[in-house]
Amino acid sequence: MSGAVAGVWGLPLALVGGALRVSTPYLFVSLGECLTEKSGRVNLGQEGTLIMGAMTAYGVSYLSGSPWLGVLAAGWVGVLFGALHAWLCTLPRVNDIAVGIALMLLGIGTAFFLGKPLIQPRAARLSAFELGAWSDSAPVRAALEVTPLFLLGIAAAFAMRFFFERSRWGLVVRVVGEDADAARALGYPVGRVRFAATAAGGFLAGVGGSFLSLYYPGSWSEGLSSGQGLMAVALVIFARWDPVRCLWASLLFGGAGAVGPALQSIGILGGYHLYAMAPYVLTFVIMIITSSARRTLAGQPAELTVAR
């Protein structure tokens, strides 16, 4: 019975399972970036934050034995990087895109430097909920294993939409991102709002990184992240700066990222590098389709430099 299920449904199951697994870092980074961009800044350094978060989480989990302490530590390292980005951007004539590139390189370099001793040891990993426990099929159970982190991410997406649409502070962030002068005229501290939004965005990206090292793939190595942090930035554009749409987009990207491993799991090994390109190609194509030379995108914060 279970063999037959895996035979017919093997590929779609592997894709769904992959989407549920691979999407979590996209989800956290895109939510963080969404928050940052809503305040009118772009943080391309999220890629560096993601990798720093992954390294920190693994190190803290290894030393303390508690993976959740690792997740928290990763978040706070993200705050540190977000705060650094936000502070550098308050200096006159400092461009947020360039600072993002610099922080990306610094984050990757620092993570590899500090993470060197962490490549060998095994740290405590995050445990998973078995949503597929009702099934007697092993592939179904494997596909439906999700971390609490993923469920937290879903909750965060809806909470953030509520925050933007229904809360006073969410409105303040949006005003700052739409028209800094108007926000200033209303008496809101533009600089401080952006600082807070970028730091909080860094927290989420750091947590996303902890997922990489503590759950899937579940160990620290220098090849852990390959542009997920960056794709998440493009994903926010695709999601039109809406947190819940970030969730759907993350699942889509996760599915694309799962194509290679899914095909491998059913025995198709050739062209691995081509399948691995799927998320990048998907992002690229989506960017081309959704961009326009003539109009600004619906939902785009007007202060954003990403689409000058």
Partner 1 sequence: MSGAGPGGSVAPGPIGVHTRAAEGDLRARVLTAAEAMGLPLAGIGVSFALFGIFVGIAGANVPDVYYQMYRGAFGSGFSFQNTLVRAAPLMLTALCTAMPAQLGLVIIGGEGALVLGALAATIAAHALDGANAWVVLSSMALAGATVGGGWVALQGALRALRGVNETISSLLLNYIAIGIFKHLVEGPMRDPASLNKPSTRPIGEANALGAIPGTDVHWGLVYGVVACVAAYVLMRRTVFGFAAKVIGGNARAAQVSGLAVPAIVVVTCALAGAAAGVAGMVEVAAVHGTANASLIVGYGYTGILVAFLARQHPLGILPVAVLIGGIGASGGLLQRTEHLPDATVNVLQGILFIVILAGETLRGRFGALAPRAIGVPQSVRAEAKRAA
Which residue among 88, 131, 171, 244 contacts partner 1 (CB under 8 A)?
88
Q: How far is the CB of 3 from partner 1 (least distance, A)?
A: 32
Indicate whether 266 belongs to the interface with partner 1 (CB under 8 A). no
**What DSSP string runs through 148-207?**
HHHHHHHHHHHHHHHHHHH-HHHHHHHHHHH-HHHHHHTT--HHHHHHHHHHHHHHHHHH
Residue of 29, 44, 22, 10 lying closest to 252 (CA atoms)? 22
CB of 4 to partner 1, least distance (A): 33
Per CB under 8 A, 11 contacts partner 1: no
Residue among 99 and 247 whose Cβ is closer to partner 1: 99
Between residue 68 and residue 87, which ones bind partner 1 under the rule CB under 8 A? 84
Q: Does 91 bind partner 1 (CB under 8 A)?
A: yes
Q: Which part of the chain contacts partner 1 (CB under 8 A), choosing from 33-41, 66-74, 88-96, 238-246? A: 88-96
The answer to whether 246 and 34 have CB atoms below 8 angstroms apart is yes
Whole-angstrom Cα distance, residue 9 to residue 18?
A: 14
Residue 142 near partner 1 by CB under 8 A? no
Instruction: Evaluate whether 215 touches 128 at the Cβ level (below 8 Å).
Output: yes
CA angle 102, 106, 110 (to 5 degrees): 175
In the complex, the smallest distance separating the C-beta of residue 303 from partner 1, rounded to whole angstroms, is: 15
Please report, for residues 21, 30, 147, 211, the alpha-carbon distance to residue 50 in angstroms, rounded to integers and kept in the order given.
Answer: 16, 11, 18, 10
**Residue 271 binds to partner 1 (criterion: CB under 8 A):** yes
Q: Minimum distance between the CB of residue 287 and partner 1, rounded to whole angstroms?
A: 5
**230 binds partner 1, rule: CB under 8 A:** yes
Q: Should residue 302 be labelled a site residue for partner 1 when binding is judged by CB under 8 A? A: no
Least Å distance, CB 49 to partner 1, is: 13
* 11, 80, 106, 131: which one binds partner 1 (CB under 8 A): 106
Residue 53 has, within 13 A of its CA and on its CB side, a CA count of 37
Tokens 């793939």 identify what position?
A: 217
Chain positions 108 to 127 lying near partner 1, rule: CB under 8 A, are 108-114, 116
Residues 239, 87: Cα–Cα separation, whole Å: 27
Residue 124 exposed, middle or buried by CB count within 10 Å (0-12, 13-18, 19+) = middle
> Does 224 contact partner 1 by CB under 8 A?
no
> How long a stretch of residues is the chain?
308
User: Total residues contacting partner 1 (rule CB under 8 A)?
Assistant: 51
Angle of the 2-38 helix axis to the 168-178 helix axis, nearest 10: 70
Binding test (CB under 8 A) with partner 1, winner from 1, 92, 120, 223: 92
Applying the rule CB under 8 A, the residues between 150 and 169 that interact with partner 1 are none
Interface residues with partner 1 (CB under 8 A) are 44, 84, 88, 91-95, 97-99, 101-103, 105-114, 116, 226-227, 230-231, 233-234, 237, 270-274, 276-277, 280-281, 283-284, 287-288, 291-294, 306-307
